[in-house]
Every structure is written in C-alpha cells, then in structure tokens.
Amino acid sequence: MKIYTRLPEGLRPYFNQELESFQKEISSENNLIAWNHLERAHILGQKYPFAHTLVHWKMLQFGFKIKSRKEILGQIPRLIFGGVKSFVGHIPVGNPGGANVPPLKPFPIENELLEIFKKAGINAI
C-alpha cells in the first residue's frame, strides 16, 4: 500500500495555478469557470491528503457562496473522508470532486491534465 502525503514539487505550480485561477474567476463572479478550476485542482491534487482536503474545503465554501444545498451537503463527507482516502492511496482517479458526481466513481482525465502529470513526472493513474 502506497502512503501519500504532500503534493510533489513538480505538480505544485500547476495545482497552485488552478487555485489562483479559481480565486480570480470567483472574484469576477465567473462561477462556472471558477468551478472548472476547482475541479482541475481536485484532479491534480486528489492523491495527496492536504491538497485534496484543501480543494474540498474550497468546494464547500463555493457551495455556500452560490447557496447550493446539494453542494454543501455533498462536500461535507468529501471533506471529512477525502483526505483519508488519499492518505491510503484509495481514490477514484479523475473524479472532479463535486456533489454532482458520485464520490467514488473514476473518470477519464482530460489530455491537458494528463500532460501536466507527465511534465511533473507523476503517474496519473
């Protein structure tokens, strides 16, 4: 069993860029684009407990901002258990992390994100 901890250095700039882009778009009230950046950050960081938990925290905050009961209620268990699942290496690869998708369902990873993993020297799967 592989135990994951912190986001690798090679992946960190891409993860941080997604979070910065999220903040920029949410500040401009571009909620759909902002959400897409959170989903991308989730996919990039979901193997790593701290990054994974941070994204779910931001998704929960987003749920409050847009007053989405579904997102708020969906993020609470993800926030509690997502980091634990990452820590023990049991995550649904490619899952975008929102309450609009099943929490344990894997998804295909878009080519652009696969390239980021490749540049960072990380196996996405």
Q: Is the pLDDT of residue 104 over 60?
A: yes
In a domain, 5, yes or no: no
90: domain range? 12-119
Give the pLDDT mean for 1-28. Answer: 91
Residue bearing tokens 């989730």: 42
Residue 88, in any domain of the structure: yes
pLDDT digits (tens, 9 = 90+) for 78-92: 998 888 888 877 889
In a domain, 87, yes or no: yes
78, part of any domain: yes
Q: Is residue 43 part of a domain?
A: yes
User: pTM here?
Assistant: 0.94
The CA-based diameter of the chain, rounded to the nearest angstrom, is 43
Please report the pLDDT score of residue 119 as a whole number: 93
Q: Give domain status of residue 72, yes or no.
A: yes
How high does pLDDT run on average in the chain?
93
pLDDT of residue 88: 79
Q: Could you tell me if residue 4 is inside a domain?
A: no
Task: Give the Cα-Cα-Cα angle 80, 18, 103 (nearest 5 degrees).
Answer: 35
- Cα 116 from Cα 27, distance rounded (Å): 26
Q: How many domains are there within the chain?
A: 1
Residue 2 has pLDDT above 70, yes or no: no
